[in-house]
Amino acid sequence: VQKTQNTWTGVFLHGVINGPSFIAIALGII
């Protein structure tokens, strides 16, 4: 259960952090 929770937490954080960051970098490069 803890492993699954950590996995979903990692996916969630990755989406929240990497999403806007990727867009910001993309707009910055363009």
Sign, CA dihedral 21-24-29-30, equals: positive
Distances (CA, A) of 19 to 5, 6, 23: 20, 19, 6
Q: Give residue 1's pLDDT.
A: 67
Per DSSP, 6 falls in state H
Per-residue pLDDT of the chain (30 residues), as tens digits, is 677 888 888 888 888 888 888 888 889 987
Tokens of 20: 């806007």
Please tell me the pTM assigned to this model.
0.45
pLDDT recorded at residue 28:
92
* Placement of tokens 């952090």 in the chain: 17
